[in-house]
Amino acid sequence: MGIYDELKCEYPLPDPEVQDHWFQTKSLDRLLDRYSITGDGRLVLHKVRYELIPDEEREYYGTPEWDEMPFVRLFGMLRSEPMGDVDVAYHGDITFYTSTGSRKEGDFQWYEYRARFAEGCLQWIKALRRPDRGAEP
């Protein structure tokens, strides 16, 4: 598991059924940031600033849980403020992945891709793993 970033791919993927999904990646900074690969092949960071929410505004403040279960004080302690989008001008490969369905229900599907960027421009996206196709050559 571990820390990751999230990525949305607006550029066409080989599998349209996951085109609108948020993907995880460990190829970037692993700061729980959100990125997009734009339709024209740029990598964009959706920059945010976090601010601490006062205790009085948190969900469990003033309830018995606030005193009995101190970990609930952490729920909703931060809010994000959008700071704008930043073109990252990335150079290298980014591996990203998502899944659909459930292992319990037997319809779990894994999708994994690699995107190559050269001097900020997307060169290609290749499928690494796709349902019913396994690992790609």
Q: Looking at residue 115, what is its pLDDT?
A: 98
Rounded to whole angstroms, the Cα distance separating 83 from 76 reads: 20
Rounded to whole angstroms, the Cα distance separating 8 from 120 reads: 17
Q: Where are the alpha helices (DSSP H) in the chain?
A: 64-68
94 inside domain? yes
125 inside domain? yes
11 inside domain? yes
Q: Looking at residue 40, what is its pLDDT?
A: 97
126 inside domain? yes
Contact criterion met (CB below 8 Å) for 116 and 123: yes
64 inside domain? no
* pLDDT, mean over the chain: 92
10 inside domain? yes
12-30 per-position pLDDT tens digit: 999 999 999 999 999 999 9
69 inside domain? no
3-state secondary structure of 108: coil
Q: Looking at residue 137, what is its pLDDT?
A: 45
**Residue 87: domain span:** 5-49+81-98+112-135
19-78 per-position pLDDT tens digit: 999 999 999 999 899 999 999 999 999 999 999 999 999 999 999 999 999 899 999 999
State the total domains in the chain: 1
Closest by Cα among 120, 98, 127, 128 to 40: 120
70 inside domain? no
